[in-house]
Amino acid sequence: MILFAIIAIVLFIVYVKWRHSYWTRLGIYQMQPEFFIGNARSVLTGKTSFAQTVYERYNSIKATGQQCGGIYLFLEPAVYFIDPKLIKTILQKDFQYFMSHGLYHHPKDILSMNLFNMEGDVWRNLRAKLTPTFTSGKMKMMFDTIIEKTNGLEAMVDKFASNQQPFAIKEALGRFTTDIIGSCAFGIECNSLEDPDNLFRAYGKKVFEPNLYRFWLFNLLPWWFLGNIGFKSNGRDVSEFFIKVVKETIKTRQENQIFRKDFMHLLLELKNMEINEKNPLTITDDEIAAQCFIFFLAGFETSSTNMTFALLELAQNPEIQEKLRDEINDVIERHGGKITYDAVMEMKYLDMVINETLRKFPPVTILPRICTKDYEIPGTKSTIKKGTRVHIPVWGLHRDPDYYPDPDVFDPERFNEENKLKRPDFTFLPFGEGPRMCIGLRFGMLQSRVGLISLIRNFSFSLNKKTSLPIRMSSGSVIISVKGEVWLDAKKIRDY
């Protein structure tokens, strides 16, 4: 019996070693794996942020001079592509090999069946249904709702400024974007700015709480098993809450013929279309629930995070803050003193500030893909096998001094037209690129623009000593976030 146990242990060790030599056997550089867990320790323990892990992997691979490198998540191989030309090929020209994100979804977990998670023809059909709801014309339709929510944000900051109290900008902006998305996605007034404990805010925050338990389950157990035992990727209480809200909203609007300028109305228009050969773009109640959910999460978290980092940098760079304020005032004056959609789109320096913020603090650290059929890496004899995880290291590209000299310096001029032309394509990927580029890009940018215009126009910001520097990224969070809070001091500079 002891002999059999020894043989089994030896065979297991040999098998693990063989699995962990996959990339070497393929002729691709690999980072040194730890026994069994591979290169996943930093993620599993939560001791290192995703951002730092991606940065270290990127630099390790780049130091070899190769265009890609391999890692292991337990025994599963994954590959990092770091060469911009190759990344462009993967995300655009050879997209058919890398159509999927490789993220958990199951029909019995309704909220998981959203556009971000879907694959293949199901994703393609859903994308075709939703694309018309994110045109610039549709954004104009929702513009007044976004502007309306700035009143509560200004009142909140005004209160702190009047009392000369520092305030936590990340929490304030999270409440602001929750109110916008609650109204634009669900047609519901959340009033998070007045009531920070409302259910929308509470459940939205809960989804983004670090959860290593879920990471283990997604990577160790088959998805069909998780779905069939009733597993809910966002938690049962979160799932039940959002599905109930969506279905009650659908019922109320249809019974009372309610019209609102929001995302829900656009989805209901799709739902009510007649199915025919020319226009098979109808959508089910479950699909509406899943899309409203992902729109809500992506909309409130990424935009609030982007504005938080922008204000963090503006508070430390008063000359940039003043230059931005001058542009905002000049453009608004040309538009009759009102913040209009056209005025917002005219603010070029504002876009440069936002893009530099996205460069330095991209919402996601990697773009995940799954190889959907065997792919020979251009210029090599190495073939990436179907089912292999592919990572595009956004955080590494954005902080590479070859593309962005002095990458820790906040410099919006990196994004003037002259400097943009100097950089290789696909070295700026805050929202992805190619057919799977973020569909809500326009809306997210519009939120960030309007929020910053409202604040910079009316207040001057400086960093409060309660903010810990240098800032650190929260570990275990998919969307990057500051560990702790960003505390600012505000001074009112304009009566409104």
Q: Residues within the annotated binding site?
A: 438
Nearest residue to 28 via CA among 355, 383, 307: 383
Dihedral (CA of 134, 138, 139, 145) sign: negative
CA distance 479 to 365: 8
**Quick check: bond before 470 cis, omega within 30?**
yes
Residues 60-95 as b/e (b if ≥16 CB within 10 A, e otherwise) read bbbeeeebbbbbbbbebbbbbbbbbebbbbbbeeeb
Q: Which residues contact 355 (CB under 8 A, 6 or more apart)?
A: 412, 414, 415, 428, 430
CA distance 64 to 25: 17
Residue 256 structure tokens: 């009372």
- Counting other chains too, the contacts that 159-162 makes at CB distance below 8 Å and 24 or more residues apart are 160/490, 161/459, 161/490, 161/491, 161/492, 162/492
Q: Are β-strands 76-81 and 389-392 bridged in parallel, bridged antiparallel, or unpaired?
A: parallel
CA distance 31 to 14: 19
Q: Which residues are annotated as a binding site for heme?
A: 438
Residues 153-188 as b/e (b if ≥16 CB within 10 A, e otherwise) read bbebbeebbeeeebbbbbbbbbbbbbbbbbbbbbbb
Residue 235 — left, alpha, or beta (φ > 0 → left; ψ -120 to 50 → alpha)?
left
CA angle 362, 207, 101 (to 5 degrees): 55
